[in-house]
Chains A and B, each alone.
Chain A
Amino acid sequence: MRQKNLGTRKEIDSKSNIAIEVSNLYKSFKLPTEKASGLKQALFNFFRGVKGYKKQEVLKGISFKVKKGEFVGIVGRNGSGKSTLLKILAGTYYPEKGEVTINGNLIPFIELGVGFNPELTGRENVYLNGALLGFSHKEIDEMYDDIVEFAELKEFMDQKLKNFSSGMQVRLAFSIAIKAQGDILVLDEVLAVGDEAFQDKCNQFFNKIKKDKSKTVILVTHAMENVRQYCDHAILIRDGVIEIDGSPKDVANSYSLENSERYIEDQKDNQPKTSEFIKNLNVKLLSAKKPTQNDSIKIEITYDVTKNINTYLGLSLWDIKRNQSLINSNSKSQICKGKGHKKITFETSPSTINDSNIRVNVSVREKDGSILAYYPDSKSPTVVLRRTDYENMDHKTIDAVLFQRGKFDVKE
């Protein structure tokens, strides 16, 4: 019943500078349509000639290479196939078609603390988890102090794991993950753990491992600042195919754009809402979709008025991530008199603001401010601003709306 020709996954140990090579990888799952996890259901389906499952293609021909010592980010929306890809790299899932070659000792952390047992002590769990990753007692003896020190849990190690707080458990698991001595680390969304002090430690660790040319890291994350900060190269996966395999910046920007577009699609209204006097409201972005601070943002709005009234244009640039408006024109200021075709352009410079995903909101109003027509979010153009002049990357600086351009004067 299974296809006879499955893909292959092999582990080699060669001098070549390629750590991971994936070529033309396919994977699909059979999702049961009804609850078919019993013999009864299986017999039923057999006699009725029902297949009882639906085929879901998750990976559709993925190929890429990772060089030794690289720090590679894999990003993509939920359900795009990232985790399936990782599980195939780690060997938990079997490739359906295609080839995967792993050169070196791969340590997967699809989930932290695999095999952790609440009834065992912290110490016993470290050894058990270590054994699952392929380390002997002696090897873990050597890493043990490092692990405990990094996790800052020295005095708790002889307590049962069930008495650890969840944060402590994660810290222990993460420490094992990063202290494990493998050539290739595969990490799935594990950065967002621990308190701030622990996060800083993790950042330091990642900066260190980034410089270490003997270690290859594959990181799956939704945090674009991590991609920009650590990765040498990144891959964007969308619906089971690789959309971009390139610089972390390109990938991070595209991902942000994809997300903001998707965010808008989710909303229901799809057509411009207009009153009977306003027809053909259209908003067009004339400038680049991904401007830098040196470009300008240019928007063209057109609409037809069928009655002899004055109309007023309302326009705002809405920051999707920070959920606030960046620019909001006074709807009284832009008057269009009478009937006919109206065409308005608006141009502004984003030189003063930080990286943001901006949606253009447009409405046509009457004198008293009541709305005659508005352009739906789902159709509004989105602008992804990405500055190129950040010298010292720090997400806290970028989180602010305005670009930091003040001058410090220190007198000592």
Chain B
Amino acid sequence: MKIPRVLNRKNRILLAELTATDFKLRYQGSVLGYLWALLRPLMMFAILYVVFAKLLRFGGDIPHYPVYLLTGITMWSFFTECTSQGIQAMVVRGDLIRKISFPKYIVVVSATLTAVINMLINLVVVVIFALINGVTPSWTWLLVPFSLLELYALSLGISFLLGAINVKYRDITSIWDVCIQALFYAVPIIYPISLVAESSVLAAKIILLNPIAQAIQDIRHNLITTETITTWNFIENPAVRIIPIALIIIILIRAAFYFRKKSKFFAEEI
């Protein structure tokens, strides 16, 4: 897959046009329109905040816990939106794939890019909340994009792999919905990882080897408070520490090749 061919002029134009269309159409016919891109995670946040911070009193000793929670939720919804849109993309754009020839990855990338745009808007809200909450800006903020990229690479890998299978076996969509539910509790979003570490250090370490957990904890660490437990400061063995990143790279590369191999037959199978 030569880079210049993959990202040639024609493909870039198509990618931009499809992404713009997706974004335009997403909130078609709703009164508040694009505002929903902001309102949805905020409302999610409000519910979880009331339940977990006020009623269950999680995160007692974590500074800036509300922002900490909001960051986690924003990143989690980015991951879920990205993957579910990406996996569905081939089916949603089935009419195009059946009738016209173009590199199929564009469909997946454009669907996930809409999620990226949403996430970036939400990130602005997170930063504003952080400043209101008294978080002081620091140079580590500059490291956040790397974690975002990591999360995006993982989502893209999953989208390519499962999206390609989903063309033939639509069950994948439902299976992934269940996986998302399970993953939500496997990642320290609503509960602080310190809570797990108190009862079992090993369990906390295993949780932190999940690339999603690693990325989200890194973002919290770099954006909000350095007291956050991350893969880097909790796991001693450097060889084990790189597992999450290695996983992302392997998944993305394998998925991309698998997708490319299968994409020749999408038009017939979809």
Contacts and interface: CB of A to CB of B under 8 A. Distances in A.
Interface stretch (B21-29, B147-155, B184-192, B194-202): B21-29
Contacts of B168: 37
Contacts of B99: 92, 110-111, 114
B13 A92 contact: no
A37 B99 CA distance: 21
Interface in B1-39: 9-10, 13-14, 16-18, 21, 24-25, 28-29
Interface in A83-104: 87, 90-94
A134 interface: yes
A137 interface: yes
Contacts of A6: 264
B264 A132 contact: no
Contact of A115 (B16, B24, B100): B100
A136 interface: yes
Nearest to B24: A120
Nearest to B28: A119
Contact of B14 (A37, A91, A134): A134
Contact of A117 (B13, B16, B21, B97): B21
Contacts of B102: 132, 134
A330 B267 CA distance: 59
Contacts of B57: none
Contacts of A120: 21, 24-25
Tell me what chain B mostly uses at the interface: helix, strand, loop, or mixed.
Answer: helix
B169 A115 contact: no
Contacts of B97: 92
Contacts of A132: 14, 17, 96, 100, 102
A194 to B, nearest CB: 21
A124 B97 CA distance: 20
Contact of A94 (B14, B18, B264): B264
A46 interface: no
A261 B13 CA distance: 50
A120 B20 CA distance: 11
B64 interface: no
Contacts of B10: 134
Contact of A136 (B13, B25, B267): B13
A99 to B, nearest CB: 15
A40 B96 CA distance: 28
B258 interface: no
Given A134-B14, A136-B9, A90 B169 contact: no
Q: How large is the interface on B (under 10, 10 to 19, 20 to 34, 35 or more residues)?
A: 20 to 34
A91 B21 contact: no
Nearest to A111: B99
A94 B18 CA distance: 24
A39 interface: yes
Nearest to B96: A115
Contact of B169 (A37, A91, A133): A37
A37 B13 contact: no
A114 B97 CA distance: 10
Contacts of A42: 169
A192 interface: no
B170 interface: yes
Given A94-B264, A120-B24, A132-B102, A137 B13 contact: yes
Contacts of B21: 117, 120, 124, 128
Contact of A108 (B13, B101, B169, B171): B101
Contacts of B268: 29, 93-94
B110 to A, nearest CB: 11
A223 interface: no
B3 to A, nearest CB: 19
B129 to A, nearest CB: 33
A49 interface: no
Contacts of B96: 114-115, 132
A120 B102 CA distance: 22
Contact of A93 (B17, B25, B267): B267
Nearest to B29: A119
A344 interface: no
Contacts of B169: 37-39, 42
B98 A38 contact: no
B171 A94 contact: no
Given A42-B169, A93-B268, A120-B24, A135 B13 contact: yes
Given A29-B268, A94-B264, A131-B13, 17 more contacts: A2-B265, A37-B168, A92-B98, A92-B99, A93-B267, A94-B268, A108-B101, A114-B96, A115-B95, A115-B100, A117-B21, A120-B21, A131-B14, A131-B17, A134-B10, A135-B13, A136-B9
Interface of A: 2, 6, 29, 37-40, 42, 87, 90-94, 108, 110-111, 114-115, 117, 119-120, 124, 127-128, 131-137
26 contacts: A37-B168, A38-B169, A87-B267, A90-B101, A91-B101, A92-B100, A92-B267, A93-B267, A93-B268, A94-B267, A94-B268, A108-B100, A110-B99, A114-B99, A117-B25, A119-B28, A119-B29, A120-B21, A120-B24, A128-B21, A131-B13, A131-B16, A132-B17, A132-B100, A134-B14, A136-B9
Top-4 shortest CB links A-B: A91-B101, A131-B17, A39-B171, A94-B264
Interface of B: 9-10, 13-14, 16-18, 21, 24-25, 28-29, 95-102, 168-171, 264-265, 267-268
